Amino acid sequence: MDGSKEMGGLRNVSSVCSISEMDDFDLSRLLNKPKLNIERKRSFDERSLSELSIGLARGLDTYETTHSPGGRSGFGTPASSTRNSFEPHPMVADAWEALRRSMVYFRGQPVGTIAAYDHASEEVLNYDQVFVRDFVPSALAFLMNGEPDIVKHFLLKTLYLQGWEKRVDRFKLGEGVMPASFKVLHDPIRKTDSLVADFGESAIGRVAPVDSGFWWIILLRAYTKSTGDLSLAETPECQKGMRLILTLCLSEGFDTFPTLLCADGCSMIDRRMGIYGYPIEIQALFFMALRSASSLLKHDEEGKEFIERIVKRLHALSYHMRSYFWLDFQQLNDIYRYKTEEYSHTAVNKFNVIPDSIPDWVFDFMPTRGGYFIGNVSPARMDFRWFALGNCIAILSSLATHEQEMAIMDLIEARWEELVGEMPLKIAYPAIESHEWRIVTGCDPKNTRWSYHNGGSWPVLLWLLTAACIKTGRPQIARKAIDLAETRLLKDSWPEYYDGKVGRYIGKQARKYQTWSIAGYLVAKMMLEDPSHLGMISLEEDRQMKPMLKRSSSWTC
C-alpha cells in the first residue's frame, strides 16, 4: 500500500487516516447491523452435533441452551463456569483473567490477543503481536463463552490487512496472503491507533505463513457456526477474502500431487525443521479450510466456480493423503519390503522410497494397533515423524477416515509416554539430534533435541487433543491429559512449551503467560464440560467422499 514505511521491523501503514475510512466503514457497517436472530441454524452445514456419538455422561440435551451466546456475567467471570453443574477448577478463573489481560484494542474495540504477556522476559521479540494462528484458541474460548464480538473484529481486521500490498525486497507476494501477525500502535499524543503487520517479510527466515489464511477460513466457519450469524461470512468482503486465499492454493502449475508445496517454517513450526515439501500440518489445514470454505461460499457465479474446484481438489487430496501419508503396522511392513526403481503406472512404490531410508525408531514406535499420518511425502522422501497438530486436524476435519481416526487415537494411547509424557502434547516425535540436527535445522540452537519445535511439549495442543478425543468418543483420554496439565500450568505461569523427553522441564526459552497455552486450556475445559462446542471446530465425514482405499486396512482388525 502506498505510504507504507518500515517501522520496528514491520511494515507500517502509518497513515491513520488511510486505514480509517475503509476500516471504520467495514467495522461499523458490519457490526452495527442489528444483530441477526442468533438462534442456531442447524441446517448450516453438517449437522455434526446430532451425529455425534460421543458416549459421554452428559447428554446433548443441553445443546440449545448452552450454545446461546451472550450472558457473560461480568469481567473475569466465564459464562461457562456459572452454568456449571460442578465446581470449576480454580485454574479456570485465573486463566480467564490472564486471557483478558492479553486482549488488544484498536480504537476501543477488541481485535485480538497478544502472543504472550510476559513482563519478566527481557526480549519481547514479536510476542507482543496478535498472531493469527495463536488467536484461534482465544477466539474459540470467547465464542464458547458467548463473546463473539472480538472474533468478528479480528476477522474483519485481518481481512482488511489482507488487502495490503505485500513485498519482500522487490518481490510481490500473492494478493490472498494473510498476515502471520499484526500489532496495534497507540499514539498517546495524537490519540490515534495504527496497524503494523507481518506477512513474512519481517519474520525470521522470511517465510510467508501458509497456515494463516486457512485458520482464517476455519475461524470464520467457527464464528458462523457458533453464532448462527451467516451475515458476516456472506458479506462481499468475506466472500472475496476467501476467494483470494483459495486462488493461492488452488492454482494449477507444475504440481503432480494435490497436496500443497511449502517452504520450511511456513506454519506453527516457523523455523527450519525439515518440514519443507508437503508438511502434514498444512495439508490437514488445507483440507479443513477447503471444506469450511465450501460451506461458506455463496452459490453465486463466482462462488460456484470455486466450489467446483474445491470439490475436485478435496477428492484428489483425500485420496492422496489417505493412501500415501497413512502409516500403520501393515503399511510400514509393505514399505520395508518395497522394490525400488519401478517405472510406469504399475509401480507400487510410486515415489521410489528407498527402504533403507526408514529410520530405526519407527519400527519400535509403531504399535500393532494404531497408525498416523506421517510428516511428509515427496519423491524418495518420507518423513516418518509424528506431528500432533496435523493428526488432530486430520481427525477434526474428517480427512482421516473413521478407521484412521480410531487408529490415531489408538496410537496416542499406546504411545502415551512418548507423545504425552508429563505434559501434553509433543509437537513432533521424535526429536532429531547430532548430525541430523545440524543438517536439518542448520544448527538451530533454539531447536535442540526435545526442545521447542524439535520434540518439545506444547500446552496449546491440549485443545486439539481434547477436540479429537471428543470426536472419536474417547473423552477419558482428554481428561487424563487435562489432569496432567493442571498439575503444572498455573504453577509454572503458563509456559509456551516444555522441554525434555517427557516434557518435564519448562522450555529453555519459553515465554511465560503464553496466551495460547492459557486459551488452549480453557477451550479444552469448556469442550469437555459441554461437548456440543465441538461442532464449531469439527466436520463430519462427507459421505460422498467415502474412501476407496485399495491399500491394506489393517487398522480395522
**Nine-digit cell string for 283:** 495439508
Cβ atoms of residues 378 and 279 within 8 Å: no
Closest separation in Å from C-beta 271 to ligand GLC = 7
Closest separation in Å from C-beta 135 to ligand GLC = 9
Which of 335, 430, 421 shows the shortest CA–CA distance to 387? 430
Closest separation in Å from C-beta 117 to ligand GLC = 12
Quick one: 272 or 533, whose CB is closer to ligand GLC? 272
Quick one: 314 or 465, whose CB is closer to ligand GLC? 465
Closest separation in Å from C-beta 189 to ligand GLC = 30
d(CA 483, CA 424): 10
Q: How would you classify residue 539: left for phi > 0, otherwise alpha for psi between -120 and 50, otherwise beta?
A: beta
d(CA 144, CA 138): 10
Closest separation in Å from C-beta 270 to ligand GLC = 5
Quick one: 49 or 217, whose CB is closer to ligand GLC? 217
Quick one: 27 or 289, whose CB is closer to ligand GLC? 289
Residues at the contact surface with ligand GLC, assessed by CB under 6 A: 115, 131, 133-134, 268, 270
Quick one: 246 or 523, whose CB is closer to ligand GLC? 523
**Nine-digit cell string for 279:** 508438511
Closest separation in Å from C-beta 207 to ligand GLC = 11
Closest separation in Å from C-beta 458 to ligand GLC = 9
Residue nearest to ligand GLC (CB): 115
d(CA 402, CA 299): 30
Closest separation in Å from C-beta 148 to ligand GLC = 23
Closest separation in Å from C-beta 215 to ligand GLC = 10
CA distances from 342 to 147, 322, 379 (A): 57, 22, 13
Which of 84, 121, 77 shows the shortest CA–CA distance to 100? 77
Quick one: 215 or 324, whose CB is closer to ligand GLC? 215
d(CA 506, CA 484): 14
CB-count exposure of residue 57 (10 Å: 0-12, 13-18, 19+): exposed
**Nine-digit cell string for 241:** 477474502
Closest separation in Å from C-beta 223 to ligand GLC = 20
Which of 459, 390, 367, 467 shows the shortest CA–CA distance to 422? 459
Which of 69, 35, 64, 70 shows the shortest CA–CA distance to 50? 64
Strand partners, 216: none
Quick one: 113 or 227, whose CB is closer to ligand GLC? 113
Quick one: 45 or 118, whose CB is closer to ligand GLC? 118
**Those residues with Cβ within 8 angstroms of residue 127's Cβ, 6 or more apart along the chain or in another chain:** 114, 115, 116, 118, 121, 511
Quick one: 115 or 332, whose CB is closer to ligand GLC? 115
Closest separation in Å from C-beta 268 to ligand GLC = 4
Quick one: 112 or 370, whose CB is closer to ligand GLC? 112
d(CA 481, CA 462): 7
Closest separation in Å from C-beta 141 to ligand GLC = 16
Closest separation in Å from C-beta 265 to ligand GLC = 9
d(CA 179, CA 212): 7
Cβ atoms of residues 325 and 283 within 8 Å: yes
Quick one: 421 or 459, whose CB is closer to ligand GLC? 459
Which of 133, 160, 162, 151 shows the shortest CA–CA distance to 223? 151
d(CA 101, CA 113): 8
d(CA 12, CA 427): 33
Quick one: 427 or 527, whose CB is closer to ligand GLC? 427
Closest separation in Å from C-beta 262 to ligand GLC = 15
Cβ atoms of residues 321 and 376 within 8 Å: no
**Nine-digit cell string for 521:** 486450556
Cβ atoms of residues 17 and 24 within 8 Å: no
3-state secondary structure of 25: helix
Quick one: 66 or 129, whose CB is closer to ligand GLC? 129
Cβ atoms of residues 550 and 331 within 8 Å: no
Quick one: 133 or 157, whose CB is closer to ligand GLC? 133
Alpha carbon 2 to its chain's center: 32
Provide the edge-to-edge strand list for the sheet that holds 192-198: 4-7, 10-13, 192-198, 181-187, 130-131
